[in-house]
């Protein structure tokens, strides 16, 4: 078990006034040794803390005067202070097995820790869940949690997880739902394994045993060129259409029996099936952007000026709590937008004082480009675009396979694409592909051959970065992929 290290300290906070400094290791709080930032937050909410710290090899005691519930004013370097509970499943569809060698070590960590599910929105299979974990979840009301279901048939789930405990671990899901813990489920749909009749049976099983789930995301299998499993492949168009048909049929059943749709198909299914996206009412206000659900419809509404505030895609406990910072895939993004002003970060090769070029290129993954292109064309036809604008689709050669999401664009692919682009144009880059200013392959915006402007990944930020003038809103229902 390690102790948390202070990495940020707010000026004028109780911690700063008490003499704590960045780099201090917090050994204990009021004589207790927190296992994770969840316990940390409960302890620091107390008034008048006594901290045992280590500084430069010396053990010190620091008394902090504060009111109950007043923020302590520090951030620490990790979310878990004991060992991360790693995943012992061996799912053929796991994307971590499909990463190339030589990337950052943290990207190869497979966790199956319910605490990271609560903190960051990570999905857990519950195969390493215990009675003690159940007691803590219920006692401390650790909600919401996110659970990988994949299939309710015990044999199918065991086969998919390649773990014999997969057959029985959903009993924990039922136990938590009985205690009114909010849980969101996910089904990674693999062609020929858990789609078709198995998907039908799974959604029937949900109605029978897990009807109190808050939502279910049905997402497609992602396959990179590094996949070691030949049996994993993307859906065909007809298979994608079949998934959408099953999901929409069960939406009607759930709405009739439970009062809400519950299950939703990822936007990628509608793209691959070449079907129009549902309108906003079909998502019933569900915030499932982290699963790639409803993003296209929301982005279109933001871009067209039909909403005034961008929808945040942040999820989990760290959306609001004081504590450790997100890392890896869930690290804070560069240039986050507050929904009022577009947050724009410029690469070092261009300064804000330079005149903006007339032509603009919007960089996007191939899937995102299929959503952006009709919106740009619509704005151009309406005469609201002040400059010639085009969408630049970036093929993901780094990962290959069917990987086309914008969040997995890497520096090497952007280098290749931008090297062929003319100088003197503006190039807009969505921040979702950056983590602490770095692409997944370790490159940064300073390594790109053309200056780029990093903007928040929402329709309002893009609209403002392009300088689009207001126009009468258009009907959003039936956005074509």
Alpha-carbon span 331 to 272, nearest angstrom? 29
pLDDT at 2: 84
3-state secondary structure of 145: strand
The architecture in CATH of the region 95-275 reads Alpha-Beta Horseshoe (3.80)
Instruction: Answer whether the bond into residue 144 is a cis peptide, omega within 30°.
Output: yes
In DSSP notation, 406-430 reads GGG--HHHHHHHHHTSPTTSEEEEE
Q: What is the pLDDT of residues 115-153, one digit of tens each?
A: 999 988 889 999 999 999 999 999 999 999 999 999 999
Strand partners, 344: 455
The predicted model scores a pTM of 0.84
Could you tell me the maximum CA-CA distance found in the chain, to the nearest angstrom? Answer: 68
Q: Has residue 299 got a pLDDT over 70? A: yes
CB neighbourhood size of 205 (10 A): 15
- Taking alpha carbons only, the member of 121, 48, 398 closest to residue 287 is 121
Task: Provide the pLDDT confidence category of residue 93 given band limits of 50, 70 and 90.
Answer: confident
Nearest-angstrom CA–CA distance, 399 and 357: 32
Mean pLDDT of 313-324: 38
Q: What is the pLDDT of residues 181-209, one digit of tens each?
A: 999 999 999 999 999 999 999 999 999 99
Is there a common fold for 6-76 and 95-275?
no
* Mean per-residue pLDDT over the chain, rounded: 86
Q: Which residues pair with 216 in a beta bridge?
A: 185, 263
> Counting runs of H as helices and runs of E as strands, what totals does the chain give?
13, 14
Task: Report pLDDT for 415.
Answer: 97
324 or 275: whose pLDDT is higher?
275
Better-predicted residue by pLDDT, 15 or 313: 15
Q: Which pLDDT value is given to residue 352?
A: 41
In this predicted structure, the answer to whether residue 211 has a pLDDT above a threshold of 80 is yes
Which pLDDT score, from 0 to 100, does residue 476 have? Answer: 40
Band (107; pLDDT cuts 50, 70, 90):
confident
What SS3 class is residue 249? Answer: helix
Q: Give the residue from 131, 6, 11, 123 showing the smallest Cα distance to 74.
A: 6
Predicted pLDDT of residue 317? 34
**Residue among 129, 130, 95, 120 at smallest CA distance from 110:** 95
pLDDT for residue 230 is more than 70: yes
Q: What is the pLDDT of residue 332?
A: 43
Higher pLDDT, 264 or 78: 264
What burial letters (b/e) apply to 220-234, b meaning 16+ CB within 10 Å?
bbbbbeebeeeebbb
* Distance between CA atoms of residues 176 and 169, nearest Å: 12
Tokens of 198: 């198995």
Would the pLDDT of 26 be above 70? yes
Residue-range domain boundaries for the chain = 6-76, 95-275, 328-466
Judged against a pLDDT cut of 90, whether residue 78 lies above it is answered with no
The fold of the 6-76 domain, in CATH, is: Pdz3 Domain (2.30.42)
| Residue positions counted in the chain | 481
Residue pLDDT, tens place only, 332-386: 444 333 333 333 444 444 444 344 446 999 999 999 999 999 999 999 999 999 8
Find the mean pLDDT for residues 462-466: 94
pLDDT of residue 130: 95
Task: Give CA–CA dist 452/350, Å, rounded.
Answer: 8
Between strands 360-365 and 426-430, the pairing is parallel
Q: What pLDDT does residue 156 have?
A: 96
Which token pair is 35? 């296992």
């Amino acid at each position: 078990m390690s102790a948390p290290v202070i990495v940020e300290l707010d000026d004028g906070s109780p911690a700063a006034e008490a003499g704590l400094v960045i780099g201090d290791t917090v050994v204990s709080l009021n004589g207790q040794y927190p296992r994770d930032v969840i316990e940390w937050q409960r302890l620091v909410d107390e008034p008048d803390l006594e901290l045992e710290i280590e500084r430069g090899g010396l053990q010190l005691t620091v008394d902090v005067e504060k009111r109950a519930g007043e923020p302590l004013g520090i951030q620490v370097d990790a979310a878990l202070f004991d060992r991360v509970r790693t995943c012992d499943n061996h799912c053929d569809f796991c994307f971590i097995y499909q990463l190339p060698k030589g990337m950052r070590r943290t990207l190869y960590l497979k966790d199956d820790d319910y605490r990271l599910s609560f903190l960051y929105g990570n999905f857990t299979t519950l195969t390493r869940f215990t009675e003690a974990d159940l007691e803590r979840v219920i006692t401390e009301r650790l909600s919401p949690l996110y659970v990988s279901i994949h299939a309710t048939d015990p044999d199918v789930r065991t086969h998919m997880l390649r773990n014999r405990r997969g057959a029985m671990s959903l009993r924990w899901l039922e136990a938590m739902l009985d205690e009114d813990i909010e849980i969101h489920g996910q089904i990674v749909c693999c062609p020929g394994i858990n789609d078709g009749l198995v998907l039908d049976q799974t959604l029937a099983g949900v109605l029978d045993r897990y009807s109190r789930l808050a939502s279910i995301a049905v997402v497609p299998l992602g396959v990179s060129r590094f996949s070691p499993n030949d049996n994993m492949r993307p859906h065909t168009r007809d298979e994608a259409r079949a998934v959408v048909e099953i999901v929409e049929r069960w939406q009607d059943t759930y709405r009739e029996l439970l009062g809400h749709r519950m299950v939703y198909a990822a936007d990628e299914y509608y793209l691959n099936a070449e079907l129009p996206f549902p309108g906003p009412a079909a998502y019933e206000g569900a915030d499932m952007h982290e699963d790639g659900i409803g993003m296209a419809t929301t982005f279109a509404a933001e871009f067209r000026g039909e909403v005034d505030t961008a929808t945040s895609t942040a999820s989990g406990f760290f959306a609001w709590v004081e504590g450790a910072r997100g890392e890896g895939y869930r690290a804070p993004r560069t240039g986050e937008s507050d929904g009022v002003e577009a947050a724009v970060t410029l690469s070092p090769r261009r300064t804000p004082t330079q005149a903006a070029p007339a032509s603009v290129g919007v960089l996007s993954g191939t899937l995102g480009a299929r959503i952006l292109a009709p919106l740009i064309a619509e704005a151009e036809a309406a005469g609201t675009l002040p400059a010639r604008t085009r969408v630049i689709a970036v093929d993901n050669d780094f990962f290959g396979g069917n990987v086309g999401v914008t969040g997995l664009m890497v520096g090497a692919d952007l280098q290749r694409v931008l090297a062929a682009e003319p100088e003197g144009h503006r190039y807009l880059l969505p921040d979702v592909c950056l983590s602490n200013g770095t692409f997944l392959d370790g490159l940064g915006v300073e390594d790109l051959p053309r200056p780029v402007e990093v903007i928040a990944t929402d329709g309002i930020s893009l609209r403002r970065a392009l300088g689009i003038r207001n126009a009468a809103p258009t009907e959003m229902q039936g956005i074509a992929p």
